[in-house]
């Protein structure tokens, strides 16, 4: 497995692969690799000739009071896990190279980014779309892989790639869960044992909502109330939002029909966790 830290070397490698007619699958990450990331790598290996993983904790997608500094980092462990899943190359750039002094250019998707997570994290998605644009230009992948756990991110990136005509397919793969149903996230490492236990309520509430809808409840307000009631049973869990939205536009819906996304964001202690399920009615 190759490790490249320089942007220029990365571009050159990608160009060489293209010239040899090889396709590149790309898995962007902020490191602290878990099974969710590795499931993307395995799919990329099936689809493409070469798999590139980037590891970069992107400062501009964190708010001033968020966890940029304490975000978990362990490059040795990440390398080992990436290699075991078959990653061909890790791109591990420095912040200084990605955002030199006098960096001035931003990519924003309007409309989709001021709702849900964007409400409590106002510049988050602008940071994501900017870094993903940079990585797309540096790595020039044929397919880029994202996890459904970050549902809004996946929709925002798909919209960006479409609007800006990136010649790149965006592939979104199912959320990978721990045994108890908790969605895999690098941030799970922040949780104490009891917090991790309480966090199971998120997925439990989503599954219960799904059953409620299957039994005929199509009123989004009733479904949201049901979820909130379940979550509130755990005193350590504070709700940021619970919404039922259209799967593509992310707009709130009243009557559940068509492609629907049920999205949850909560705080447990200082840790912010998100999860979601998709339904087709």
Residue 265 sits at φ, ψ, to 5 deg, of -130, 135
Q: Among candidates 163, 161, 164, which has minimal Cα distance to 143?
A: 161
How distant, in Å, are the alpha carbons of 2, 31, 57, 262 from that of 25? 15, 17, 20, 29
x/- map, 148-167, a copy of itself, by CB under 8 A: -----------xx--xxxxx
Q: Which of residues 66-105 bind a copy of itself (CB under 8 A)?
A: 103-105
- Is 140 a binding residue for a copy of itself by CB under 8 A? The answer is yes
- Considering 34, 37, 124, 226, which one is annotated as catalytic? 37
Q: Closer to a copy of itself by CB, 15 or 255: give it.
A: 15
- Is 106 a binding residue for a copy of itself by CB under 8 A? The answer is yes
* Choices 18-26, 28-36, 181-189, 195-203; region in contact with a copy of itself by CB under 8 A: 18-26
Query: Residue 76 Cβ, how far from a copy of itself at the closest point, in Å?
Result: 27
Q: Which of residues 37-66 bind a copy of itself (CB under 8 A)?
A: none
Contact 91, 54 (CB under 8 A): yes
Say which residues have a Cβ less than 8 Å from residue 126's Cβ, sequence separation at least 6. 60, 61, 106, 107, 108, 113
- Is 19 a binding residue for a copy of itself by CB under 8 A? The answer is yes
Q: Closer to a copy of itself by CB, 60 or 222: give it.
A: 60
- Is 215 a binding residue for a copy of itself by CB under 8 A? The answer is no
Contact 31, 138 (CB under 8 A): no
**3-class DSSP assignment, residue 193:** helix
Contact 247, 149 (CB under 8 A): no
Residues interacting with a copy of itself, by CB under 8 A? 7, 11, 15, 18-19, 21, 103-112, 129-130, 133-134, 137-138, 140, 159-160, 163-167
| Residues designated catalytic | 37
């Amino acid at each position: 497995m190759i490790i490249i830290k320089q942007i220029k070397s990365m571009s050159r490698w990608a160009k060489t692969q293209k010239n040899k007619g090889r396709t590149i699958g790309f898995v962007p990450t902020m490191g602290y690799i878990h099974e969710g990331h590795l499931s993307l790598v395995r799919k990329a290996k099936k689809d493409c000739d070469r798999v590139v993983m980037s590891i970069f904790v992107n400062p501009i997608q964190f708010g001033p009071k968020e966890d940029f500094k304490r975000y978990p980092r362990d490059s040795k462990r990440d390398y080992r896990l990436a290699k075991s899943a078959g990653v061909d190359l890790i791109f591990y750039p420095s912040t200084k190279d990605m955002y030199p002094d006098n960096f001035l250019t931003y990519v924003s998707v309007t409309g989709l980014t001021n709702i849900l997570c964007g409400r409590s994290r106002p510049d988050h998605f602008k940071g994501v779309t900017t870094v993903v644009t940079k990585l797309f230009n540096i790595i020039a992948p044929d397919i880029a892989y994202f996890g459904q756990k970050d549902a809004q991110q996946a929709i925002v990136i798909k919209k960006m790639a479409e609007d800006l005509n990136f010649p790149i397919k965006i592939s979104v793969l199912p959320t990978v869960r721990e045994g108890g149903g908790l969605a895999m996230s690098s941030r799970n490492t922040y949780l104490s044992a009891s917090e991790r236990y309480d966090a199971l309520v998120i997925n439990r509430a989503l599954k219960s909502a799904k059953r409620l809808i299957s039994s005929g409840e199509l009123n989004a307000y009733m479904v949201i109330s049901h979820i909130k009631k379940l979550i509130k049973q755990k005193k350590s869990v504070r709700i940021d939002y619970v919404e039922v939205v259209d799967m593509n536009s992310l707009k709130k819906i009243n009557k559940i029909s068509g492609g629907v996304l049920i999205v949850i964001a909560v705080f447990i202690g200082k840790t912010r966790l998100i999860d979601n399920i998709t339904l087709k009615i």
